[in-house]
Homo-oligomer: A and B are copies of this chain.
Amino acid sequence: MRKADLTFENGFKKKGLSNLLVHDCEFMKVLNFNFEPGQELPVHNHDIEGELTICVLEGEGEFLGADGAVIPAKFGDVLISEIAEPHGFRATTRVRLLVHIAPPI
């Protein structure tokens, strides 16, 4: 049992997303991405079995999907997606995301 303190361990970068590998084990991978306003995690996917969640811990933006799909995203929203489905994110304000991928990529 251990604690990760995301607000202490990960900040924001003007040049691009600020990434933190929170946890990696045989069952799942946990990542924290911090965005400045306007920063984006481009739509992407991986052709493997599994699912992922993207939780908005702070801020507002948009979940991005296939064919230009845009889903409004704010604190407390959780996107659930297959790893094989196209997914991404664009930040309107400063945003902190927590991503779980199972099984780990």
Interface residues, chain A, CB within 8 Å of chain B? 1-8, 22-23, 25, 27-28, 30, 50-51, 53, 55, 57, 63, 65, 69, 71, 73, 75-82, 85, 87, 96, 98, 100, 102-103
Contacts and interface: CB of A to CB of B under 8 A. Distances in A.
A81 B1 CA distance: 4
Number of copies: 2
A61 to B, nearest CB: 13
Contacts of A57: 55, 57, 75-76
A5 B7 CA distance: 22
Most buried by B among A3, A30, A71, A81: A3
A84 to B, nearest CB: 11
